[in-house]
Amino acid sequence: MKKNFRHTGLVSFTSVALASSLIAPTHAVVPLVNPLAAGAGHSLFISNPVSSPTIVMQGFFPQNIVRGMGYGAEGGVKVLGSIPPSGSPPQNYLSPRTVGCRAASPPPPLGDYPLGLVVQVAAAIGHSVALRSNGDVVTFGSGHSRALGYGTTDDFDCPSYFSAPVPLNPVGVRPTPVWAVAAGWDTTFALQGTSPGYSIIKAWGYSGWGQVGNGKPIGTAYPVPDCVRNNVYPLGSCLYPVVSVAAGDQHSAAVTTDGKVHTWGNNSLGQLGQPGAMRSYALVVPGIDNVVSVSASGFVTFALKQDGTVWCWGQFQNEYAPLPWLSCGPTPMKVPNLTGVTSIAAGRNHALAITVDGRIWGWGHNNDGAVGNPTATFTLTPVLVNVPGFAVAIAAGWLHSLAHTADGKTWAWGNNSSGKLGDGTNINRFSPVQVLP
């Protein structure tokens, strides 16, 4: 039986950087959007991220290696993509370890084969996604709901530099660049186009509430990538041109170049931002425009407008009864006391924002510390998170949060039951702690 709630991933365009790969790609421009990913019980981050990763070490050992902590396995599937020493069972990792494949004997010069040259990561509850600098999309974890995109239900425990990418392009056709990736409840999204703002969304996985968005029947899984449409299949055309996409538990959202937000999937708690039942295709959210990016999780959606304000609709999921659910309402409403925002991240029951001065703000439920302020309980008014340094990236999971600062450090706070904060313990943290190297 499926669990009721699962975490999401999110992406938005903030910068564009040139990148190269071992074999010269047919395209080479991808944005380094966010080097962090927070799932339900695990976390991923890009170690020492650079905007133009290249092979600099001997052998096949690249820059931008992915590190992970938390669940070594969810339901027996290694969502961290890391194989433990021979003969040892899957386990929770309280400090970061390299994501990749364990080398056969004799080992190569630096040990295991790492998952590297990565410019973006995304995480859900049962699978993880990485985008390489050459546009390859690599997935690993549970394949039972077809979220891995390989056309099978097979699980993939061991991603590496040599992993085959998800086949997003028709055979024999010149590859089209992938700019960003996102992961939700058994779903995966990839923004694909010739450049930012000239992209469609490729989607695959479980569409129990229409959250894949391909316009096809609800309640089944779609193992092969297909585009998100603006009407039922085959009447609908691919939603275009898209600049941001976000995956919630049972719904999804995207932004087009005209600043409009489009949503699809379940609408049980107003997460689509307009009246109506669930649907498997995208429609415009009325009452909001000039949007530059979206973020979604659980049953809530957030939109960042060009003027630096944040708007939301739907509801935060409450983990601990009888505390009230926090509602943004069924239509877009402005998050109070928050301006000058440059980045947003939605968690299952909390949210984060970075302002232009590099400070982080959190709001929502704070039972396990996910908001990042020890004085907060539950609130829709953002409070300051005391992260040392200038924040440049954030990620929000089910009950925990991550941040990356300009000095290259990674910080974490919130629920730490599986060790997903990466501080060497499983103690919940109500204030940020530095992730171990």
Output the domain CATH number for residue 160: 2.130.10
Residue 245 located in a structural domain: yes
The neighbouring-strand residues paired with 251 are 265
Residue 311 located in a structural domain: no
Q: Cα dist. 180→29, 31, 212 in Å?
A: 11, 7, 16
d(CA 259, CA 243): 9
Residue 346 located in a structural domain: no
Beta-carbon contacts of residue 327 (< 8 Å; ≥ 6 apart):
269, 270, 314, 315, 316
pLDDT of residue 59: 56
Residue 61 located in a structural domain: yes
pTM of full prediction above 0.85? yes
- Please, are residues 81 and 157 in contact by the beta-carbon 8 Å criterion? yes
pLDDT of residue 7: 37
Beta-carbon contacts of residue 316 (< 8 Å; ≥ 6 apart):
298, 299, 300, 325, 326, 327, 328, 348, 349, 350, 351, 364, 365
Residue 356 located in a structural domain: no
Beta-carbon contacts of residue 414 (< 8 Å; ≥ 6 apart):
368, 369, 370, 372, 397, 399, 400, 401, 421, 428, 429
156: Cα within 13 Å, side-chain hemisphere: 24
pLDDT of residue 41: 92
**Closest to 7 measured CA to CA, from 117, 158, 176, 128:** 128
pLDDT of residue 169: 83
d(CA 381, CA 31): 31
Q: For the chain, list residues with pLDDT below 50.
A: 1-31, 86-87, 109
Beta-carbon contacts of residue 1 (< 8 Å; ≥ 6 apart):
none
Residue 235 located in a structural domain: yes
Q: Is 329 left (phi over 0), alpha (psi -120 to 50) or beta?
A: left
Amino acid making up residue 231: N
Over residues 340-363, the pLDDT tens digits come to 999 999 999 999 999 999 999 999
pLDDT of residue 437: 87
* Mean pLDDT of the residues in the chain: 85
Residue 62 located in a structural domain: yes
Residue 401 located in a structural domain: yes
pLDDT of residue 9: 40
pLDDT of residue 23: 26
Domain housing 396: 10-286+392-434
Supply the DSSP symbol for 431: E
Amino acid making up residue 415: N
pLDDT of residue 333: 96
Domain count, the chain: 1
